[in-house]
């Protein structure tokens, strides 16, 4: 037993997580198709469910009237911190797979990414409210659309943050659970168009005399490779290195025709301490230099996905979360980084709110074969409930043990 929780509190949480109720919620959410940009139906149903269960529910538009967000709150009425659970309800644009449960595993579109995690967060809210387990503060759930790229751009959660729908700390139930990520790299996606004047033409009928967009693209790739080697020297002990990655190159129609356009796409990732403005300026400088060298025209679309971040390991959210994990799993998680970007980056960078990504050990995200062990949904619900119990106390109570009598 940790120094934070009494045995009585931990037992009450374990006994209060209702697996059947949790699975009913997850089945409801997974059973409503919600490709990015079209999550209105599942958001409406989630809002109805939460309102029926007595939570205070709001539906802020948050910049996307087609699918208003869902905000649900449980407030003890006593001063203290608010822990936020944040999840997206949209799924990638793949064929819909209905929910089913077989041999202790739940399957279906979005169960991994991340409707299963949202259902676990809802269950955690029920547990702390119905068991009167929070001594102070409260819990807030936010759920939204427009998360999955390239169909969404993250603007709905950005707007929620800008409009003040934030707690004092955030947990996000994405499918990341092997470490406690306290740092994450920023990411930008880019598309570059290398073009020349004129029309496509046969190589022997003037094509070979034209500026070559393929040669321009090759030169650009060389410069990007050189930059990536330099970026390899910029490292973080947990997050690894900065990088520039080219993943797609397209040009030409047939083998002996001089094309007028080459398109390449990739990503740029950077560490805390660097900025989007700095990496964009570096990127655009290379485009201008290569355009001049190759007598081509080069335009680039350089879009920030999320900024880099790092949270303090002395923060009460980190300590509360690690204590909760220790109680549920037997030991705290190793401290590490998050390989991908998610909405947690936005809460830290835009809202100044500490955020930890932790969800079920689920598989198949961004495929038609999503699956999540039922036991993992139960585990996450328990971790979230215990984190709330520890975190939502008044700041003066930070050093105190959570006992069964704290109400």
pLDDT band at 393 (very low <50, low <70, confident <90, very high): confident
Q: Tell me, yes or no, whether 145 and 288 share the same domain.
A: no
Q: Cis omega before residue 114 (within 30°)?
A: yes
Pick from 278, 306, 334: which residue ends a domain?
306
* Same domain (yes/no): 230, 251: yes
Q: What is the CATH number of the domain that holds 16?
A: 3.40.630.10
- State residue 1's pLDDT score: 44
- Asked whether residue 381 is assigned to any structural domain, the reply reads yes
Instruction: Report, as an integer, the average pLDDT of 216-232.
Output: 98
**Beta strands 169-172 and 355-357, pairing class:** parallel
- Please check whether residues 324 and 286 belong to one and the same domain: no
pLDDT surpasses 60 at 405: no
pLDDT, one tens digit per residue, over 294-327 is: 999 999 999 999 999 999 999 999 999 999 999 9
Q: Are residues 60 and 122 in the same domain?
A: yes
Average pLDDT, rounded, for the chain? 94
Residues 138 and 217 in one domain: no
My answer on whether 336 and 389 are in the same domain is yes
Residue-level pLDDT at 394: 59
Question: Is residue 253's pLDDT more than 80?
Answer: yes
Same domain, yes or no: 296 and 354: no
Do residues 203 and 315 share a domain?
no
Q: What is the mean pLDDT of residues 173-178?
A: 95
Residue 272 backbone dihedrals phi, psi, to 5 degrees? -55, 140
For residues 24 and 167, membership in a common domain is answered with: yes
Q: What is the pLDDT of residue 398?
A: 58
Q: Report the percentage of the chain scoring pLDDT > 70.
A: 96
369 and 291 co-located in one domain? no
Q: Is residue 166 part of a domain?
A: yes
**Would 1 be classed as within a structural domain?**
no
Answer yes or no: is 334 within a domain. Answer: yes
In a domain, 403, yes or no: no
Beta-carbon contacts of 22 under 8 Å, excluding residues fewer than 6 positions away, are: 119, 120, 122, 123, 377, 378, 381
- The number of distinct structural domains making up the chain is 2
More confident residue, 402 or 20: 20
| Percent of the chain whose predicted confidence (pLDDT) is above 90 | 92
Between CA 192 and CA 298 the distance in angstroms is: 7
Residue 407 in domain: no
Report the CATH number that the domain containing residue 240 is assigned in CATH: 3.30.70.360
405 lies in some domain: no
Domain boundary among 306, 341, 373: 306
Residue 397 has pLDDT above 70, yes or no: no
Assess whether 299 and 312 both reside in one domain.
Answer: no
| pLDDT exceeds cutoff 70 at 2 | no
pLDDT band with cut points at 50, 70 and 90 for residue 231: very high
* 118 and 263 assigned to the same domain: no
Q: Is the pLDDT of residue 407 over 80?
A: no
Q: Can you give the pLDDT at residue 396?
A: 46
Q: How far is CA 194 from CA 31, 200, 206, 265, 298, in A?
A: 44, 14, 19, 12, 5
Per the structure, the complete domain to which residue 273 belongs is given by: 186-306
- Which of 247, 273, 306 is the endpoint of a domain? 306
pLDDT tens-digit series, residues 179-207: 999 999 999 999 999 999 999 999 999 88
């Amino acid at each position: 037993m940790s120094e934070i929780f009494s045995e009585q509190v931990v037992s009450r949480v374990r006994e209060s997580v209702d697996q059947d109720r949790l699975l009913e919620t997850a089945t409801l959410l997974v059973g409503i198709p919600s490709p990015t940009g079209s999550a209105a139906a599942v958001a409406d149903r989630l809002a109805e469910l939460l309102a029926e269960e007595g939570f205070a529910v709001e539906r802020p538009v948050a910049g996307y009237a087609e699918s208003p967000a869902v905000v649900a709150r449980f407030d003890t009425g006593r001063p203290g911190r608010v822990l936020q659970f944040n999840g997206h309800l949209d799924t990638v644009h793949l064929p819909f797979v209905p929910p089913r449960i077989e041999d202790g595993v739940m399957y279906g579109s979005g169960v991994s990414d991340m409707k299963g995690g949202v259902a676990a967060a809802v269950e955690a809210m029920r547990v702390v409210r119905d068991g009167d387990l929070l001594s102070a503060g409260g819990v807030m759930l936010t759920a939204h659309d427009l998360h999955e790229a390239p169909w969404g751009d993250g603007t709905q959660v950005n707007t929620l943050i800008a409009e003040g729908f934030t707690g004092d700390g955030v947990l996000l139930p994405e499918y990341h659970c092997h470490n406690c990520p306290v740092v994450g790299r920023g990411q930008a996606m880019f598309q570059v168009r290398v073009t020349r004047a004129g029309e496509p033409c046969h190589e022997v009928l003037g094509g070979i005399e034209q500026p070559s967009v393929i040669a321009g693209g090759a030169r650009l790739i060389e410069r990007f490779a050189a930059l990536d080697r330099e970026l390899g020297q910029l490292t973080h002990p947990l997050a690894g290195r900065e990088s520039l990655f080219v993943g797609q190159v397209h040009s030409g129609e047939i083998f002996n025709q001089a094309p007028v356009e080459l398109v390449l796409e990739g990503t740029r990732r950077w560490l805390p301490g660097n900025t989007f403005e700095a990496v964009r300026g570096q990127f655009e400088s290379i485009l201008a230099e290569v355009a001049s060298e190759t007598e081509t025209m080069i335009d680039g679309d350089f879009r920030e996905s999320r900024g880099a971040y790092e949270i303090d390991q002395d923060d009460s959210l980190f300590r509360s979360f690690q204590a909760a994990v220790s109680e549920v799993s037997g030991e705290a998680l190793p401290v590490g980084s998050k390989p991908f970007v998610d909405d947690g980056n936005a809460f830290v960078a835009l809202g100044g709110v500490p955020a930890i990504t932790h969800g079920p050990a689920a598989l198949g995200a961004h495929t038609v074969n999503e699956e999540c062990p039922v036991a993992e949904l139960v585990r996450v619900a328990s971790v979230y409930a215990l984190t709330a119990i520890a975190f939502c106390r008044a700041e003066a109570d930070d050093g105190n043990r959570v006992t069964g009598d704290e109400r």
